[in-house]
Structure 1
Amino acid sequence: MELPPVGLGTMGIDDPDAVATALSVGYRHLDTARIYENEAVVGEGLAAGLADADVDREDLTVATKLWIDDLAAADVAPAARESADRLGIDAIDLLYVHRPRGDYDPEATLSALDRLVDEGPVRNVGVSNFEVADLDRAIDVLGRPPAAHQTELHPLFYRPELLDHAREHGYTVVAYSPLADGRVGEVDAVTEVAAAHDATPEAVAIAWATAKEPVVAVPKASSAAHLRANLAAADLELTDAEVAAIDAVEREAELFPE
């Protein structure tokens, strides 16, 4: 699945104007989840943005995620349709298993999601917060790689084995929390690279993430200035040495452990 280098992460966004503004400044990938309890907000912003911005619905990827209590085979279709209704769309472009926990059963859950692709209300199946073994099992069940794997990825938490798996099997990695909840400005390697480029640490963190094929990032932002800055960060080109310096950061800070 081809996704733009930078999309909009919406966890915590409760104002539809932020979503509409994102579309107006060039975002084409919106990411939410049932557990965020803001699908209706995203849907309202999406409708306003489509009405005001020069963008077609077909040019957008709207993604959401089924929470761990939505994953029993009998619950997948009703939950997906509820999400689509809240988002105000006929089909969810990318529907993730949020975590392989709770009611998740690889065979039952993924087969139910695959049926929704066949029937039309879902266009692509993704997974999130999976380990390599979970990814392998998903590929076995689906008979193909997931469209995308969303995982926490930022300069303070980096798992190369997940990127290696994505490269081997040919699917996209979507990096959530690429700004480490605002902590990237505390990382010396990041601030040194930022100073060399006359850029912000946030821009460097996004550029570092998107330099890693096949990674795209979904940072959260609400203001027009931050939305534009995050979108532009993908155009910042880091040297191999700069990427390696950030790779070598020893601190690990997983923001969203199990």
Structure 2
Amino acid sequence: MTTMSHLDTQGLSIPRLGFGTFRMPGGGCQPVVESALSLGYRHIDTAAMYENEDGVGAAIAASGIARDDLIVTTKVWHENLAPKDIQRAFDKSLSNLGLDYVDLYLVHWPSRTMDLPAVLETLMRLREEGRTRGIGVCNFNMPLLKTAVETVGAPIACHQIEYHPFLDQSKMLAYLRGKQIPLVAYSPLAQGRAADDVTLQAIGRKHGVSAAQVAIAWLLDQDGVIAIPKAQRRESQQANLDALAVRLDEEDRKAIAALPKDQRFVKPPFSPDWDAPAV
């Protein structure tokens, strides 16, 4: 396996290829995460809403891997963003995981009724207490992110958003790079659509790899980007790791740049206004 590279942010060193666990509920998650850990994944992403923190925690316990060698992320759901609810949700997540601390605690989705400064101050207090090593956000639009970073001055360690070859995130990525905040790309394979794209397949044939591996390589080809694909089958977990060795050339980048970039697949009714202008 190609050596895993890391991004440093707010005192954390995060592997650039992590392992996502969305839609892996209950006990079925444990053997899948155990497999990923045995292959070499050291960055595991979960959330209270996934209902699998106990399985993730059991897999970590069974792995025998030193806690200091892992980056474990979990998230608070948008319905629990009152400060007392965040505290309660965090305590439950930590208990489910069976850990003394997590490495990243993120706001899973913004809420239209949240008091953002109060939310971030609660997360910062958890960080000061050493119960999470870092804090961050997911699914924030530009105005919300700028408020968190510039107005509140929160030590945001990452921003997790949907990002793949069919969705333009260039403005967000440019802003994050300027603030030295990593972009963590979820749904990096566009919920399986990358595997069927003829352009990515053609690039894959050129390099002797799959279209999905090309999609991951494209993300990791970009400064400041971390990808967290999920994969239930061990073969797919290994294939994603093997994408670390794929090197795209300028012709490949141009071909991917020409793909439609307006395909957003994660669109819950509580999403923020993605087109809201930055203040």
Instruction: Report the TM-score, using the length of structure 1 for normalisation.
Output: 0.94
Q: Quick check: 1:86 aligned with 2:96?
A: yes
What amino acid is aligned across from residue 33 of structure 1 in structure 2?
A
Show CA shifts across 1:186-228 (max 9, x none): 3232112111101100100000011111001000012221111
Q: Quick check: 1:39 aligned with 2:53?
A: yes
Matches of 2:107 and 2:169 in 1, distance apart?
20
Q: Quick check: 1:216 aligned with 2:226?
A: yes
Counterpart of 1:191 in structure 2 is 201
Query: Any idea what SS the aligned residue of 2:150 has?
Result: helix
Show CA shifts across 1:133-190 (max 9, x none): 1111011354255100000011122311111011100011110011111111232321
Matches of 2:184 and 2:247 in 1, distance apart?
19
CA contact (8 A) 1:111 1:141 kept: no
Describe the shift of the 1:6–1:196 C-alpha distance in structure 2 as closer, same or farther (beyond 3 A). Answer: same
What fraction of aligned residue pairs are identical, expressed as a percent?
Answer: 38
What amino acid is aligned across from residue 23 of structure 2 in structure 1?
G
Shift of 1:232: 1.7
CA contact (8 A) 1:71 1:102 kept: no
Matches of 2:30 and 2:242 in 1, distance apart?
22
Q: Quick check: 1:8 aligned with 2:19?
A: yes
Counterpart of 2:80 in structure 1 is 70
Counterpart of 1:201 in structure 2 is 211
CA contact (8 A) 2:103 2:134 kept: yes
Counterpart of 2:148 in structure 1 is 138
Matches of 1:160 and 1:83 in 2, distance apart?
33
What amino acid is aligned across from residue 17 of structure 2 in structure 1?
V
Gaps of 5+ in 2: 1-8, 272-279
What amino acid is aligned across from residue 62 of structure 1 in structure 2?
V
CA contact (8 A) 1:31 1:218 kept: yes
Matches of 2:183 and 2:259 in 1, distance apart?
21
Query: Any idea what SS the aligned residue of 1:35 has?
Result: helix
CA contact (8 A) 1:93 1:123 kept: yes
CA contact (8 A) 1:99 1:130 kept: yes
Matches of 1:142 and 1:24 in 2, distance apart?
40
CA contact (8 A) 1:5 1:234 kept: no
Query: Any idea what SS the aligned residue of 2:127 has?
Result: helix
What amino acid is aligned across from residue 125 of structure 2 in structure 1?
R
Shift of 1:244: 2.7
Matches of 1:224 and 1:244 in 2, distance apart?
32
> Which shows bigger deviation, 78-87 or 98-107?
98-107
Matches of 1:144 and 1:109 in 2, distance apart?
10
RMSD: 1.4
Matches of 1:45 and 1:56 in 2, distance apart?
13
CA contact (8 A) 1:9 1:31 kept: yes
CA contact (8 A) 1:179 1:206 kept: yes
What amino acid is aligned across from residue 208 of structure 2 in structure 1?
D
Matches of 2:218 and 2:259 in 1, distance apart?
13
Matches of 1:161 and 1:252 in 2, distance apart?
13
Query: Any idea what SS the aligned residue of 2:245 has?
Result: coil
Matches of 1:71 and 1:141 in 2, distance apart?
19
Describe the shift of the 1:104–1:235 C-alpha distance in structure 2 as closer, same or farther (beyond 3 A). Answer: farther
Describe the shift of the 1:5–1:89 C-alpha distance in structure 2 as closer, same or farther (beyond 3 A). Answer: same
What amino acid is aligned across from residue 87 of structure 1 in structure 2?
L
Matches of 2:47 and 2:113 in 1, distance apart?
17
Query: Any idea what SS the aligned residue of 1:96 has?
Result: strand
Matches of 2:151 and 2:48 in 1, distance apart?
24
Map of 1:11-160 to 2, 5 A cutoff?
11-13=22-24, 14-49=28-63, 51=64, 55-160=65-170
